[in-house]
Amino acid sequence: QVQLVESGGGLVQPGGSLTLSCAASGRTFGDYALGWFRQAPGKEREFVASVNWYGSDTNYDDAVKGRFTISRDNAKDIVTLQMDSLEPEDTAVYYCAADKAFYGSRWPLGTLEIWGQGTLVTVSS
């Protein structure tokens, strides 16, 4: 199966931007749909955005719609999350996950088996 490694997290001021990357290795990247998720302190992990195998279908949680953009490059085996107009409420550990099925915005977090290690995003002045 594919292995995932996130990068790009850090400290950013409110209103700023950050780009997260998730690099894949192992099996064929194009066989997997990808999702970004986040977990804030004391809260459950939640869906943020997803993209299908070809990059032609994307879904976003309402909290990030219009501010975040997910994209993938199957030639480079990477999926990115461009985050603009960041708010303190976006502070969380961000994870990418992969699955051979595409779930739109309803990913079964409890049963996903392929996760990255996470990258911390802190939005604070």
CA dihedral 50, 46, 13, 7 (to 10 degrees): -60
Q: Which residues contact 56 (CB under 8 A, 6 or more apart)?
A: none
Summarize pLDDT for 18-36 with one digit per residue, the tens.
999 999 997 789 999 999 9
Q: What is the pLDDT of residue 26?
A: 79
- Can you tell me the mean pLDDT for 80-86? 98
Tally of helices (H runs) and strands (E runs) in the chain: 0, 11
Q: What is the pLDDT of residue 35?
A: 97
Q: What is the pLDDT of residue 27?
A: 74
Summarize pLDDT for 22-71 with one digit per residue, the tens.
999 977 899 999 999 999 999 999 999 999 999 999 999 999 999 999 99
Q: What is the pLDDT of residue 1?
A: 83
